[in-house]
Amino acid sequence: MKIAVMGCAGRMGRMLVQEIHATEGCVFAGGTEPAGSPFLGSDPALLAGLPASGLTVTDDVAAVFKAADAVIDFTSPAATVTHARLAAETGTALVVGTTGLSAEQTAAITAASASTVIMMAPNMSVGVNLLFALTQKVAATLGIDYDIEIVEMHHRHKVDAPSGTALGLGRAAARGRGVDLDAVKETVRDGVTGAREAGKIGFATLRGGDVVGDHTVIFAADGERVELTHKASNRGVFAKGAVRAACWTEGRTPGLYSMMDVLGLS
């Protein structure tokens, strides 16, 4: 399967190139960087510490989409919307790991999925997606008497908060309770806030150092507390999940899918 990588010169991009190279049945089909990038013209395989591929990093996104069976995208919200439209035009499958998407941007990606296969997930880790499933189940089982708080920590360079994974956990908890997350989430507490309102789902965001990603869902009631935690120590788990998802798209009908579909947890 021919797989290309958007943003192939970044930390995540290089790991994706390595994972494609290491996965049987997969071939690296090309990579892009934005116009003006100092990496344009470089061999993306060499950037990833692999033998030369004979390919060069390009800003011709359309050409890369045409050359690939599937494209993996961990870039920026605006770029991902453009890539989704190209995927729809070329019929190329798209795996989206970009976070920080607005409702409008998510809607644009969803619209593109009418014409091609798009797999979109806030986190590609197998462990985190199991945590999504567990969070929904526990929220449904424990009920409203348990307060839900989600704590996440990432490295100092992360630009969006709460993390896409934390919001994904919040949506899982809200589904378990049969409510809309937007109606119950509380992402900021400052000053005299008063007593905690029943039914709210709270978020706490921590940033510092080189933390890859820590997430904990806390279910707290009088007399006991249940905590579900996932800690990622290496970004390679995200690359492995993304390449697995790209392979899974082969032969699928157009539509919007998630890692839960890829893992058979939906």
Task: Please state the φ and ψ torsions of residue 165, each to the nearest 5 degrees.
Answer: -70, -40
C-beta of residue 73 within 8 angstroms of C-beta of residue 80: yes
C-beta of residue 62 within 8 angstroms of C-beta of residue 32: no
Partners of 215 in the β-ladder: 152, 230
**Would the CA dihedral through 263, 130, 237, 217 be positive or negative?**
positive
Q: Which of 154, 185, 230, 240 is catalytic?
A: 154
Q: Is 158 a catalytic residue?
A: yes
> CB within 8 A of 233, min separation 6: which ones?
212
Residue that the structure tokens 């089982």 belong to: 141
Partners of 73 in the β-ladder: 6, 96
10 Å CB burial of residue 135 (0-12, 13-18, 19+) is buried
C-beta of residue 228 within 8 angstroms of C-beta of residue 216: yes
Q: Which of 21, 66, 158, 200 is catalytic?
A: 158
Active site residues: 154, 158
